[in-house]
Amino acid sequence: MKAKTSPTPIKIAMLLSATLLVACTGTRPVDIGVSDNRLTPCPDSPNCVSSFEPQSDETHYISAYLIKGDNQQQTWASLKSLIEQNSSAEIIKQDEQYIYAEYTSSIMRFVDDAEFLLDKENNSVQLRSASRLGYKDFGVNRERLEAIRTELQSQDLVK
């Protein structure tokens, strides 16, 4: 008869690591999207930025992408292409005026939810990006959206 052996510390560490990696993805939010031509407001936590927040809110406010001239469709197509080219991104939902993408960090597999709304009236793209889990994001969401802005600016599509 074989004696029961307890799990080794390596097996326990591997199991905990796998559990943690799966847990970091969180559940896809159901409360995001477009309502009354607006994106969902940011929560109080400092892990979200949105162009719909008041400019006085330095933690959450980010300016929309202001489209140059009559380049709405070209800007929208370029934005979609930039998202698709990013290996950490996956477009979950899209139409002629809305893109919802998930960005997954490479090591810890944290997921951020990014939304883009083509605002034809104001010739701009409204933005929102939020961490799915945790309290702080250490500026990751803002940096991601600003990097996209820089790329669109280099294409002379946004101001």
Distance CA 48, CA 44 (A): 9
Domain ranges of the chain: 9-154
More confident residue, 102 or 9: 102
What is the rounded CA–CA span in Å between residue 54 and residue 77? 28
pLDDT of residue 133: 87
Share of the chain above pLDDT 70, in %: 84
Tell me if residue 32 falls in helix, strand or coil. coil
Domain 9-154: top CATH class: alpha beta
**Averaged pLDDT of the chain:** 89
Strands 65-66 and 89-94: unpaired
- Could you report the per-residue pLDDT of 65-111, keeping only the tens digit for each? 999 999 999 999 999 999 999 999 999 999 999 999 999 998 888 99
Position with higher pLDDT, 72 vs 23: 72
Residue 64 near residue 50 (C-beta atoms within 8 A): no
The mean pLDDT of 1-30, rounded to a whole number, is 57
Distance CA 144, CA 97 (A): 20
Query: CA-CA distances (angstroms) from residue 108 to 26, 91, 105, 116?
Result: 12, 20, 6, 25
